[in-house]
């Protein structure tokens, strides 16, 4: 089984880059087995639909436009996304995640298990760093992903953990 962690976002619009920053954080802090792929999807949208179609299990990390406090984290499953039951607008950038999944579904390649982890941005101003509020969520979202992968049987380790054993 192949699992994909797909980080979406625009790194030059501060908090909009949360998904990509999350991929970078995971790469810096954890070692993953070969059957877990971390992918910086940036703002490529439908240009990288094939990455989702290659996986059996997908986690998408992105920003959300919805009511709530900046930094608040939401989780939605495939059914919520595909049945348009989201009380939010996904991806304030380009063609959104929903459109990408609809295309995969129409082509018969959409994986059965997709989860979206999204954070409300504090700012979308030009800048390549996350706001302090949203940046504080990186370890929380990363830990959630790592814990789920471990529950699924993946051997994910913190960097340096092997040296300590």
**pLDDT 10s digits, 117-156:** 999 999 999 999 999 999 999 999 999 999 999 999 999 9
Per the listing, tokens 């941005």 go with 121
pLDDT band at 94 (very low <50, low <70, confident <90, very high): very low
Token pair recorded at residue 17: 């880059």
CB–CB of 99/46 below 8 Å? yes
Give the pLDDT score at 85.
60
Give the pLDDT score at 79.
82
pLDDT band at 92 (very low <50, low <70, confident <90, very high): low
Give whole-number Cα distances, 7 to 39, 146, 160, 163, 164, in Å: 6, 15, 24, 29, 30
Percent of the chain predicted with pLDDT > 90: 58
Q: Which has the higher per-residue pLDDT, 110 or 159?
A: 159
Give yes or no for residue 16 having a pLDDT over 60. yes
Token pair recorded at residue 110: 């959409």
Give the pLDDT score at 46.
67
- Give the dihedral sign, CA 34/54/82/48: positive
* Mean of the per-residue pLDDT values of the chain: 86
């Amino acid at each position: 089984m192949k699992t994909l962690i797909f980080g979406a976002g625009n790194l030059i619009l501060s908090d909009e880059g949360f998904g990509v920053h999350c991929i970078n954080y995971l790469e810096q802090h954890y070692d993953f087995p070969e059957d877990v792929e971390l992918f910086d999807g940036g703002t490529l949208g439908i240009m990288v639909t094939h990455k989702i179609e290659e996986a059996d299990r997908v986690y998408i990390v992105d920003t959300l436009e919805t009511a709530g406090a900046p930094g608040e984290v939401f989780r939605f499953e495939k059914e919520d996304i595909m049945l348009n039951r989201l009380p939010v607008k996904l991806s304030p950038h380009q063609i959104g995640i929903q459109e990408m999944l609809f295309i995969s579904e129409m082509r018969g390649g959409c994986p059965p298990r997709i989860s979206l982890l999204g954070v409300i941005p504090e700012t979308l101003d030009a800048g390549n760093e996350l706001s302090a509020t949203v940046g504080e969520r990186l370890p929380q979202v990363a830990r959630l992903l790592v814990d789920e992968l471990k529950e699924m049987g993946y051997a994910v380790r913190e960097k340096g953990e092997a040296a300590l054993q």
